[in-house]
Amino acid sequence: MKPASHLSRRSFLQAGALGAAGLAAGGAHITWAQGKTDAKRGGTLVVRSGPIRGIDPHLETWNTTLQVVHQTYNALLKFNHDGTKIQPDLAESWEQKDDLTYVFRLKPGVKFHNVPPVNGRELTSEDVKYSIERQMTNQPGKFQHAYFFLDKLASIQTPDKYTIVFKTREPYAPFLNYIASPWTVIVAREVVEKHGDLQRHAIGTGPFIMQEYRRDQEAVFVKNPAYFKKGLPYLDEVRLQYVIDPVAATAAFRGQQTDISYLEFADVPSIKAAKIHVADITTMFPIVLRTRPYDDQRPNKPPFIEKKVRLAIQAAIRGEEFIEVVRSGWGITMTGPVPTYRKPWALPASARPEYDLKKAKRLLAEAGYASGFETELIVGSPGDNVKSAQVAKDQLAKVGIQVNLKPMEMAQYYNKSYSYDYSMSVHTALTGEEPEEAFRPYYGANATYYRWGNKEIHRLIDEQAKILDQKKRVDMVHQIQRLLLDDAPNVFLYCPIAHYGVQPWVKNYVVPINAYDQRYEEIWLDGKKV
Amino acid sequence: MSRYVLRRLMLLVPTLLLVTLLVFSIIRLLPGDIVTLMMSEQGYASDKAKLEQMMGLDRPFYRQYLTYLGHALQGDLGVSFWTKEPVLDEILRRLPVSLELALLAMFFGILIAVPTGIFSAVRQDTWLDYLFRTGAIGGLSIPGFWMATVVIVGASIWWQWVPPMRYTPFTRDPVKNLSQLLLPALILGLALSASIMRMTRSMVLEVLREDYVRTAWAKGLPESAVIARHVLKNAMIPVVTIMGLQLSALLGGTVIMESIFVLPGMGKFLLDAITWRDYPVIQGINLFLATGIIGLNLVIDMVYGFLDPRIRFG
Amino acid sequence: MSLLRVMRAKPLGALGGLLIVGLVATALLAPVLAPYDPVEVRSSDRLRAPSLSHPLGTDDFGRDILSRVIYGARISMLLGLGAVAISTLLAAIVGVLSGYYGGRVDTVLQRGIDTMMAFPGFVVLLTIMAMLGQGLGNVILALGIGGTAANARIIRSAVLAIRENQYLEVARATGCRDWRIIARHVLPNIAAPIMVVMTLGLGVAILAESSLSFLGFGVPPPTPSWGAMLSGSGRTYMIQAPWIAVFPGIAISLAVFGFNMLGDALRDLLDPRLRGGPRGRG
């Protein structure tokens, strides 16, 4: 029941061990299974969805966007379900020719959906070039994944219709991970030119064609008859159903109205008791207690400008209590920005800051705040983070820090968050298969999600990406994390464990560790009541 | 009668203008304006001016307002900032859902309230009266979302059944449509019935004391006839009025039921628009609702006049 | 009429009154009655079923439900009284001015009221909460403003009803100042409908707060409001720990019930037309 100690289950998760050097020849001419023979065809898969802002993969960051995107687009490469292997998607083969050069070969005959404006034309290397270039458009903050390749690529060449050659400016360790990222899908130029952006249209090469899209209700997709993976998909239709209320959503799952659904942890015991499979997934979205961001334009302010104050906060916080109270034990503690299951990139357990109230009080006194201080904490509401905020408030009160909670609607919260204008906040951070996703967009020189002006950390973050030797890179990533723990801009509270229910008639589906991966092309249904 | 109608229609205009002006101004006062919001996870400053220009937010307030008004009179309520779909279309797509829910709720409300109200009045201060009044208030005292939660969770656990979470229009599949809407309508109706019941009860009590009713009694008419012939018609007048009031409250107040039962109605639409500062949608919905409600009140007043010949405004 | 006679004549109202007295007493005596601190997090005591040490159980933060329900009475009373005070004050100003002066003033104010009433109540609430942000004070303000229009209309009708009163004619004829007339003659006579309006409004405010909480706009945590308890952890842990929601739910229902019954009885008592039953059956 309390998986916090069952990290052994996670031991197969050697995710992130994907330094570029490790996967030099990513599998020559791998072909995917030509459809399994015992698969049943037909049926509609109904998956619980959530709020969506827009469905442009290059602009958005929410996983609900990818629920749509992964039905209609493909990428060059993708990760397997536990993030340990890179697999082919559009690319038939790939290889790293030298420290700076990567060559991909596309499978010939891949067609875009037979809908205007692409009308079933063939995918070529030009499309790949276009997509990657679009993804790294330099409009800081708007193109959210630009940091994958912006200023890192020297050139993208397309010597022929099915070949792409990437040259990086310097050795770039994260390269393949970013190519395989769930966000790096290949889009069509005509659609962008016709509509200005892809926020409301999803036309690609994917297994399903979008039939209906109501942002606040549902999205319906039908089978793509000309899908390049012969034999796939098995399903006739995919429907993403947006059920806002979590209690109603779980009831819908129990009532067999959804086939795959995110579930609230409080409902899991009763669903497991009904012998329905529930996957427990340690998420990639750590919860973080942040102090005031700062950079050259926005200098830090007291009391958070004092390192000792930040360290005092860090010493006064006990991560286990958050997991207990907020998630009823469904979570794992953290040792730094990289989640602990991502070995070898995560710091060892010994590096974890100690919980020490005496030390916290002492540090506060040394910094001149012996009687504590008062501050404001913003948090997006509704959600678990409001609960985490309460726990934080309670814990900090024990060392004399009076925290005034200010929950606000999500929209307003993100507004404040991205204007870097707050004293403290409780935030859901993002990480990925690529370890630097956990710190570059937050503490790096051109970070967007947060701002931390520590130049030494900036420098090291820039450096670690250039180290192709995994062992050396791991060392530097550890060093960066230790510096972050020492400078303590944030306290890394915990990584929640999420639950996904899968009805017994859904076959051939393993819930991926990465909540961003929403591919259903290999699922078939057997025994679903219509 | 027609002069009354004309006068009311003329008063409609300034009221509507006030409404639109009020909405127009208030939402621009909401903290976290939309431009910053759209750029929130996209925090660049350089394009802010361009975005503002695109949305017409850089022009002076009165010009924005007049332009909007001009368009509105032609039936163009603008396009949503987020979805770029015409606001009017989106409203019209969602209106039938909310309307159906509201009407069904009214139906249940009346179904429960009128008979119990009449009985309660006729048997005033007896245990039946107390029972009904307690029940009515009981239905009103339990928050709707809680009733809905208990019902949905209970049904899902014991019978593995939930109301369908996908909306089908009544015209396409009445059974499926009703099976989704029945439960929320019933719950809403329950809350409604309390006030309708009390109003019915007091109106019936009042009528029962009227001379002509006493006369009918004295003449020996059976109770049911008395009720049917005299009481009902007159008691209905204020009930109709309160129905009008309730309907307008309903249309906005269906948010919670729409959230829980996954209904694509106006309530949730408005809530989302407020959350995302989608100005044109907020304006459009408010304008639409306000016009509808004012129009509805006018209709009700006319029905009022029709029902009671003593209340004709000439 | 002695109180006991009144109570026997209107048993439901008496019951309501008793409930309200209990509510007020609980609110006032909260620090004395509550066995535990309602906001302190006690993670080792989470989700305990009702027992001797925690008669109503504990919630997911380890907080004692009984204590939270007791302090919740305070919040509910604050909310109710605050909201009703604001809305009654505003409504009274508008209603009295409108009814007393009539003419232009009335027309203008009526337009204003009509405008406010054209907005579905909940929409007004949500918009105001979105503008102001979360907070007990803001909820009170929002509920107060939201309830003004309807009450204004009621008060206006009440003023209209007594405007033709001889008293007023005489007072005006003898050159009495308007405000004195209002204070001396109008207000006392509309006290009855105002009282009814206020009593019912209290119940509405408590319910509205729970709905706002459900949508995420209510009183922010860790303040122990019944609505927040019911719509937050109460719903999440419905199956595992139903006591978290059941007891605040009962509290809300009893409070609303009490206010409504009391309001009804007051209305019946103060409206001379509705006293007594149909007499003279054959």
More confident residue, B204 or A268: A268
CA distance B311 to B296: 18
Chain C residues with CB-CB distance to B290 below 8 A: 115, 118-119
User: Residues 6 or more apart from A246 whose CB is under 8 A from it?
Assistant: A264, C236
Containing A78, the helix (H) or strand (E) segment is strand A77-79
CB-closest option in B31, B44, B155 to A412? B31
- What was the pLDDT predicted at B212? 67
A217·B162 Cβ contact <8 A: no
A325·C61 Cβ contact <8 A: yes
pTM as predicted: 0.84
- pLDDT, mean of residues C248-262: 89
CATH number of this structure's domain C21-43+65-281, picked from the four choices 1.20.1260.10, 3.40.605.10, 3.30.365.10, 1.10.3720.10 = 1.10.3720.10
Instruction: Show the 3-state SS of chain C.
Output: CCHHHHHHHCHHHHHHHHHHHHHHHHHHCHHHHCCCCCCCCCHHHCCCCCCCCCCCCECCCCCEHHHHHHHHHHHHHHHHHHHHHHHHHHHHHHHHHHHHHCHHHHHHHHHHHHHHHHCCHHHHHHHHHHHHCCCHHHHHHHHHHHCHHHHHHHHHHHHHHHHCCHHHHHHHHCCCCHHHHHHHHHHHHHHHHHHHHHHHHHHHHHHHHHHHHHCCCCCCCCCCCHHHHHHCHHHHCCCCCCHHHHHHHHHHHHHHHHHHHHHHHHHHHHCHHHCCCCCCCC
Looking at the DSSP bridge assignments, the partners of residue A402 are A374
Within 10 angstroms of residue B115's Cβ, the number of other Cβ atoms is 13
Q: How far off is chain B from C184, nearest CA to CA, in Å?
A: 30
- What was the pLDDT predicted at C271? 66
Contacts 24+ apart (CB under 8 A), A3-6: A3/A280, A3/A329, A3/A330, A3/A332, A3/A497, A4/A320, A4/A323, A4/A329, A4/A331, A4/A332, A4/A333
The secondary structure of A404-455 as a DSSP string is EEEEEEHHHHHHHHHTT--SEEEEE----SSGGGGTHHHHSTT-SS--B--H
C43·A321 Cβ contact <8 A: yes
Q: How far off is chain B from A47, nearest CA to CA, in Å?
A: 12
B18·C111 Cβ contact <8 A: yes
Pure H helices in A110-184: 125-135, 175-179
Which range in A385-389, B60-64, B292-296, C92-96 is most confidently predicted, on average pLDDT?
Answer: A385-389
Please classify residue A507 by burial: count the beta carbons closer than 10 Å to its beta carbon, then call 0-12 exposed, 13-18 middle and 19+ buried: middle
C240·A269 Cβ contact <8 A: yes
Q: Is A27 left (phi over 0), alpha (psi -120 to 50) or beta?
A: left
First-residue to last-residue Cα distance in chain B: 5
B13 and chain C in contact, CB less than 8 A: no
- What was the pLDDT predicted at C122? 75
Q: Which amino acid is at B236?
A: M
Chain C residues with CB-CB distance to B143 below 8 A: 207, 210-211, 214, 227, 230-231, 249, 252
CB-closest option in C131, C230, C238 to B143? C230
CB-closest option in B36, B44, B83 to A215? B83
Chain C residues with CB-CB distance to B145 below 8 A: 210-211, 214, 231
The residue behind tokens 């009831």 is A251
| φ, ψ at A48 (rounded to 5°) | -70, 135
CA distance A374 to A401: 6
Chain A residues with CB-CB distance to C43 below 8 A: 321, 324-325, 391
User: Residues 6 or more apart from A272 whose CB is under 8 A from it?
Assistant: A278
Containing B301, the helix (H) or strand (E) segment is helix B279-307
Within 10 angstroms of residue A28's Cβ, the number of other Cβ atoms is 10
Q: How far off is chain A from B312, nearest CA to CA, in Å?
A: 47
- Residue count (chain B): 314
The secondary structure of A462-525 as a DSSP string is HHHTT--SHHHHHHHHHHHHHHHHHH-SEEEEEEEEEEEEE-TTEES----SSTT----TT-EE
Q: Cα–Cα distances in Å, from A528 out to A208, A276, A314, A518?
A: 20, 14, 50, 21
Within 10 angstroms of residue C49's Cβ, the number of other Cβ atoms is 11
Within 10 angstroms of residue A169's Cβ, the number of other Cβ atoms is 12
Longest dimension (CA), chain B: 86
With CA atoms as reference, the chain C residue closest to A264 would be: C236
| ipTM surpasses cut 0.95 | no
CB-closest option in A328, A390, A408 to C133? A408
User: Residues 6 or more apart from C170 whose CB is under 8 A from it?
Assistant: none
Using one digit for the tens of pLDDT, what is the confidence trace for A448-475? 889 999 999 999 999 999 999 999 999 9
CB-closest option in C41, C216, C240 to A394? C41
Classify A400 as helix, strand or coil: coil
Interface of B to A at Cβ within 8 Å reads: 31-32, 36-37, 39-44, 47, 82-84, 149, 152-153, 155-157, 160-162, 164-167, 259-262, 264, 268-269, 272, 275-277
Instruction: Show the 3-state SS of B243-282.
Output: HHHHHHHHHHHCHHHHHHHCCCCHHHHHHHHHHCCCHHHH
Classify A339 as helix, strand or coil: coil
For residues B277 and A53, the answer to whether their CB atoms sit within 8 Å is no
Nearest to C209, CA basis, from C248, C159, C261, C175: C248
* Per-residue pLDDT of chain A in tens (530 residues, 90 and over written 9): 333 333 332 322 223 233 232 233 333 233 344 456 678 888 999 999 988 878 999 988 888 899 999 999 999 999 998 888 899 999 999 999 999 999 999 999 999 999 989 999 999 999 999 999 999 998 866 788 899 999 999 999 999 999 999 999 999 999 999 999 999 999 999 999 998 889 889 999 999 999 999 888 899 999 999 999 988 899 999 999 998 888 889 999 998 899 999 998 888 988 898 889 999 998 889 999 999 999 888 889 889 999 999 999 999 999 999 999 999 999 999 999 999 988 899 999 999 999 999 999 999 999 999 898 999 999 988 789 999 999 999 999 999 999 999 888 777 788 788 888 899 999 999 898 999 999 999 999 988 889 999 999 999 999 999 999 999 999 999 999 999 999 999 999 999 999 999 999 999 999 988 888 899 999 999 888 76
- Residue count (chain C): 282
For residues A490 and A290, the answer to whether their CB atoms sit within 8 Å is yes
A252·B275 Cβ contact <8 A: no
Nearest to A442, CA basis, from A476, A389, A490: A490
Interface test with A, best of B162, B259, B274 (most A CBs within 10 A): B162
Report B:72-91 residues touching C (Cβ under 8 A): none
- pLDDT, mean of residues C163-172: 67
**Residue C104, pLDDT above cutoff 50:** yes
| φ, ψ at A379 (rounded to 5°) | -155, 145
User: Residues 6 or more apart from A335 whose CB is under 8 A from it?
Assistant: A346, A347, A348, A349, A351, A352, A481, A492
Chain C residues with CB-CB distance to B209 below 8 A: 273, 278
Chain B residues with CB-CB distance to C131 below 8 A: 26, 29-31
With CA atoms as reference, the chain C residue closest to B210 would be: C278
B214·C214 Cβ contact <8 A: no
Nearest to A313, CA basis, from A322, A304, A324, A321: A304
Domain extents in chain C = 21-43+65-281
Interface of A to C at Cβ within 8 Å reads: 246-247, 264, 266-267, 269-270, 321, 324-326, 328, 381-382, 386-387, 389-391, 393-394, 405-409, 412
Classify B214 as helix, strand or coil: helix
Classify A34 as helix, strand or coil: coil
Chain A residues with CB-CB distance to C237 below 8 A: 266
Using one digit for the tens of pLDDT, what is the confidence trace for A380-435? 887 899 999 999 999 999 999 999 998 887 777 887 888 888 999 999 998 989 99
CA distance B103 to B123: 30
B15 and chain C in contact, CB less than 8 A: yes
The secondary structure of A349-393 as a DSSP string is GGGSPP--HHHHHHHHHHTT-TT-EEEEEEEEESSHHHHHHHHHH
The residue behind tokens 């996670």 is A10
Q: How far off is chain B from C261, nearest CA to CA, in Å?
A: 8
DSSP B79: B
CA distance A490 to A443: 10
- What was the pLDDT predicted at A185? 95
A325·C62 Cβ contact <8 A: yes
Question: Tokens standing for A69?
Answer: 């995107």
For residues A152 and A177, the answer to whether their CB atoms sit within 8 Å is no
- What was the pLDDT predicted at A383? 84
Question: Tokens standing for B174?
Answer: 């009445």
Report C:232-271 residues touching A (Cβ under 8 A): 235-240
Nearest to A424, CA basis, from A457, A448, A400, A396: A396
Q: How many interface pairs between A and C have CB atoms less than 8 angstroms apart? A: 60
- Residue count (chain A): 530
For residues A520 and A71, the answer to whether their CB atoms sit within 8 Å is yes
Longest dimension (CA), chain C: 75
CA angle C270, C276, C280 (to 5 degrees): 150
Question: Tokens standing for A233?
Answer: 């998909």
Q: Using CB atoms, which chains have 3+ pairs under 8 A with C?
A: A, B
